[in-house]
Amino acid sequence: MTLKRLPVEGALFKELRVFGNGKDCCIRMQTTDPDCAVHFEMRDPAFQIDLQGKVQSIIFNDGSDAHLGVRYLPLEPLRVRSLVVDYPGTDSAWRRVLKGIREGDTDPFDWMLSSVQLTVVPTEGSDRRRDS
């Protein structure tokens, strides 16, 4: 497993969409400050999502009988702590992915991913009341 960090750490979290059929799925994440959109496809997905803070979850269908999705929207200011992918490509291919993200390419991956870990946390100063 070759874990690689995507350059979105510290960005404000705007939206996450996860949709597919269970065998294959698509992930779309949008941030602001800086504006960035990242889209990738997964095969036999293992997607670990750690959304800390207040979020709204919306279940949706993209119009097909075989796909279901979940959309996550922040209800308070949240930041991306990390987005880590298991990237099976070469180092030079990874550099092309990073360049594509910097240049605004929303789908820079040339491989389907199998493992992704996303952590999103409240910004400093957010109201963090938790039930005990």
Q: Does residue 48 carry a pLDDT above 70?
A: yes
- The more confident residue out of 128 and 12 is 12
Instruction: Give the C-alpha separation, 55 to 44, whole Å.
Output: 26
Task: Report the run of H or E that residue 95 belongs to, with start and end.
Answer: helix 91-102
Whole-number Å distance between alpha carbons of 17 and 30: 9
Range of the domain at 104: 3-122
- Domain annotation covers residue 131: no
For residue 8, tell me if it sits in a domain: yes
pLDDT at 126: 62
In a domain, residue 106? The reply is: yes
Burial class (CB in 10 A: 0-12, 13-18, 19+), 97: buried
Whether the CB-CB separation of 52 and 120 falls below 8 Å is answered with: yes
How far apart are alpha carbons 123 and 74 in whole angstroms?
Answer: 11
Is residue 107 domain-resident? yes
Per-residue pLDDT, 110: 84
Tokens 């969409």 found at: 17
Q: How confident is the model at residue 94 (pLDDT cuts 50, 70, 90)?
A: very high
In a domain, 90, yes or no: yes
Tokens read off for 64: 């097909």
At 128, the pLDDT band (50, 70, 90 cuts) reads: low
Number of structural domains in the chain:
1
What is the Cα–Cα distance from 83 to 5, expressed in whole angstroms?
Answer: 6
Provide the mean pLDDT of the chain: 88
Higher pLDDT, 97 or 63: 97
- Within a domain: residue 71? yes
- pLDDT-derived band at 22 (thresholds 50, 70, 90) equals confident
Kindly state the DSSP code that residue 130 receives in the 8-state scheme.
-
Give domain status of residue 129, yes or no.
Answer: no
Strand partners, 20: 25, 68
Flag whether 33 is in a domain: yes
